[in-house]
Structure 1
Amino acid sequence: MTASDSAAPAATEVLPVEQYVASLPKKRMAAGVLFRDKAGRVLLLQPSYKPNWEIPGGAVEADESPWETAARELTEELGWERPLGRLLVVDYVRPQDSRPEGVVFVFDGGVLDETELVGMVFPDGEILSAGFHTMAEAREKLKPLLADRLVAALRAAEQGTTALCEQGQRVA
């Protein structure tokens, strides 16, 4: 037996924290707010920059929490400053098109009266119109993934729960 045969195995190399963190997978995040009226219709926004409609919300920016995002987007898109309700949906979204995987949060905005939409002015021109729609109407205006997510959000709001979803479908 030689001296090299009795040597201890090489220790696992430990990366510096910055290098380790840089090697972790990146996920995009977005946050939105579900508003509904007394009839159970959902508030949808017509964006000026794409054909499909949305709920108030958008991408989480660097160093911003999902709830800060939702509040910021309400102000930017609708000029509203109001408290958010509880978390209704956490939805894992697989990579699609050219987008990486992501996590989408939907918060409860509560029940609004149609009069709260009368005379709305959209501050930045990003939104063309807003209105309440049944889920059947919403399915015609939304991407299927968002429509499925809204069904889960409505059910969570009714049941007082938070829905864990994957691709808009409840998993738990």
Structure 2
Amino acid sequence: MDLLPFDEYVRSLNRKRMSAGVLYYDHADRVLLVEPSYKPHWDIPGGACEAGEPPWRTAAREVGEELGITTTPGDLLVIDYLPTNDRFPEGLAFIFDGGTISGDEVKALEITDPEIVSAELVSLEDAATRLKPSLARRLAIALEAAHTRTLAICDNGVRARR
């Protein structure tokens, strides 16, 4: 077996896309969703990791840009493997714990990012009608992980192991 020269091997390594979001929820387990201006499905606060940016910094940056929330997100709740589809290469999605947020706090958010139309607290059942199915599954697992203080490993929104 011939080995590649190290630099050639490094260039051949697979690159994965990454995203990071933050789960905010209230005492009734409603979750905070944002309505993007650029796509049909709602989302959780967060977005794509930039080059050289770790997921936890992405999460903090995105909620700051989208919602003006400047507190650092808490523990990592979910790591989800996203398979290749017709539009995107395979990737990893991370969800961090944002903790509780009240309806009054959501109403007081000053959304200045043109990418976000609105933000709303909704039940998981309502969220499932607004989100892509894989994100709806991932979000339900994230809420459970927030309550149990565990990390969930998922495969396309399905718990892969405990």
Same fold (TM over 0.5): yes
Q: What displacement does 1:42 show?
A: 0.3
2:72 maps to amino acid: P
- Of 116, 126, 129 in structure 2, the residue corresponding to residue 137 of structure 1 is 126
Match of 2:5 in 1: 15
Q: Structure 2: any 5+ residue segments left out of the alignment?
A: none
Counterparts of 2:160 and 2:132, CA distance in 1: 20
1:92-147 CA distance string (max 9 Å, x none): 01101221110100000000111112242212211010010001100110000000
Partner secondary structure for residue 86 of structure 2: coil
Judge which range, 58-67 or 111-120, deviates more: 111-120
Q: Structure 1: any 5+ residue segments left out of the alignment?
A: 1-10
Q: TM-score, normalised by structure 2?
A: 0.95
Larger Rg: 1 or 2?
Answer: 1
- Of 121, 128, 139 in structure 2, the residue corresponding to residue 150 of structure 1 is 139
RMSD: 1.2
Counterparts of 1:107 and 1:134, CA distance in 2: 19
Partner secondary structure for residue 88 of structure 1: strand
Q: Structure 1 residue runs of 4+, over 6 Å off?
A: none
Q: What displacement does 1:13 show?
A: 4.3
1:52-94 CA distance string (max 9 Å, x none): 0000011111000000000010111111100111000000011
Q: TM-score, normalised by structure 1?
A: 0.90
Percent of residue pairs bearing the same amino acid type: 50
- Contact 2:106–2:121 at 8 Å: present in 1 too? no
